[in-house]
Chain A
């Protein structure tokens, strides 16, 4: 009876989401009074055993196969399934990321076990023998689901950013267990075949300032003052789904449940009503300033700061004020 943390990595580089998973797995194992083990996939991830040990893993399973040189969802899922069959953990925790959801789904399908994705909490009374109650995120986090995983082995993913990573060495050095997994051609197709690396620069996901426009902006051209303000603040322009649906801006600029989740120092939301699908993408922002003609708009009532007025006048006035102070 153990808790197994699946380490997500990209060609040997661990992802930040994995650190939260290692922490959550250790906490859950403590509560269950059992051991916490980790799984790395591919020989290029062997060196991550040290990281797992720093987070308190007592055993690190290293899945090996010549095929495992890059990410492949089916091969990774099959590797997890084989290690799970071999080690019979009570709980398997993966990352709540695109890759994490995908490989846990793959493993669950192969093991014919249920899986609960994007878990926010695990039952504090869980001791390993009963069904596992979880709270998981629905609607991108705007609704919570309490549900129960009824299976001999519980597969879950941990919603990203829910658990703060915290190292804690185990009392004895971690045992390394190399496991040769058997992979055949049925899983060989879905590996990454090629890559186009991103040019370094500020993206919507990482920019400290995001100036965003919604339906209230009115047209593609009317985004010019938002571009100007973003430029003055070294930020980027975002938008709501209404804007992409109207073809005013590309989907890469979309903030929301089905767009990008952002967490800038300040989010300036112009002419955005704040429908729930948009809010879940923006709610992690450290500060939100809403500029809206409607004082009752959802975003205005939820934002920390607001200006009530027409964005077409307010935004240029802010840019002008910035310029005035810059020239002083």
Chain B
């Protein structure tokens, strides 16, 4: 089976997110980059599926040319092919992104045949738009379910497990289908030595794309107001235990 996983390159922030002076993006001068967590798990899920059923996993990203690094990381953990859709600006709005991705997928499928599964992250870690997967699936005329915390394939049917307040919901989609994956579906593996070698050698195909600007326009980013910090230090080391238990009693959590 053939699986396509769409991933996004996002900054890996530490304790504080700084914004550039023009307010248009996260200041990444001192930050590394990573694959958005939900998508990292989507890659792992795809790799597990082809280990079981055979086939190829292609990773695709729409992003700056530096996003090649994230594609190679995905290959080092088991993906077999990589496609970069380079864009010049930092971020495209969701409508434009979905239009461009759907166009590239259409071209890839015209040569290679349809992907049985196209996986997305449930939402990107940085912009949290919750819609690129849904919009892309609709353009491709394929069903999609988000929030997958379990995904298997049985006789051409994708079986999706999703958590709700009441328990677990099961969805079934005939392939070709799209799925939005959530972190926790698996524990992504670390790159293997073989994977690292493959990631150096893999050809990263480039697909040009375009899309019309959508109707959601960024004005500025800002940090939420910080809470005044006045931490009460209850003590140092084990000697603080009585003060802690006093606090627990005061809060009514220990009687």
Interface of A toward B, CB cutoff 8 Å? 10, 15, 71, 73-74, 77, 98, 101-102, 105-106, 108-110, 112-118, 133, 136-151, 157, 186, 189-198, 208-209, 232-233, 235, 241, 244-245, 247, 251-252, 254, 257-259, 265-266, 273-277, 287, 289-290, 295, 298, 300-310, 313-314, 316-318, 320-322, 325
Contacts and interface: CB of A to CB of B under 8 A. Distances in A.
Contact of A190 (B130, B143, B184, B237): B143
Nearest to B190: A245
Contacts of A321: 241-242, 244-245
Nearest to B232: A305
A18 B6 CA distance: 31
Interface stretch (B79-87, B203-211, B219-227): B219-227
A142 B131 contact: no
B163 to A, nearest CB: 8
B165 to A, nearest CB: 8
Contacts of A290: 231
Contact of B237 (A110, A144, A314): A314
Nearest to B247: A305
A244 B38 contact: no
A102 to B, nearest CB: 5
B216 A137 contact: no
B78 to A, nearest CB: 17
B93 to A, nearest CB: 7
Contact of B236 (A191, A251, A303, A308): A308
A198 B164 CA distance: 9
Given A147-B218, A233-B248, 15 more contacts: A114-B95, A114-B214, A115-B216, A142-B13, A145-B221, A189-B174, A190-B171, A195-B167, A245-B187, A258-B183, A304-B232, A305-B233, A309-B236, A314-B240, A322-B254
Contacts of B126: 138-139
A143 B130 contact: no
B145 interface: yes
7 contacts: A106-B138, A114-B93, A114-B94, A144-B224, A254-B184, A258-B37, A307-B240
Going nearest first, the 4 A-B pairs with the smallest beta carbon separation are A114-B215, A251-B184, A317-B238, A105-B131
Nearest to B136: A109
A298 B183 CA distance: 24
B149 to A, nearest CB: 9
Contacts of B172: 189, 193
A117 B122 CA distance: 13
Interface string B26-46: 100000000001100000000
A297 to B, nearest CB: 8
B220 A146 contact: yes
B251 interface: yes
A240 to B, nearest CB: 13
Contacts, number: 260
Interface in B155-191: 162, 164-174, 177, 180, 182-184, 187
A133 B184 contact: no
A144 B216 contact: no
Contacts of A209: 253
Contacts of B131: 101, 105, 108-109, 115, 117
B69 to A, nearest CB: 19
B129 interface: yes
B38 A196 contact: no
Contacts of B236: 307-309
A105 B238 contact: no
A139 to B, nearest CB: 6
A212 to B, nearest CB: 15
Nearest to A135: B222
Interface string B128-142: 111100110011010
B127 interface: yes
A198 B165 CA distance: 8
Given A10-B166, A265-B251, A273 B15 contact: yes
A244 B187 contact: yes
Contacts of A193: 170-172
B164 A10 contact: yes
Given A192-B171, A195-B166, A198-B166, A274 B231 contact: no
Given A144-B221, A321-B245, A305 B234 contact: yes
Contacts of B15: 273-276, 298
Given A114-B93, A306-B231, A105 B164 contact: no
B54 interface: no
Given A189-B173, A195-B168, A276-B14, A113 B215 contact: yes
Contacts of A289: 234, 244, 247
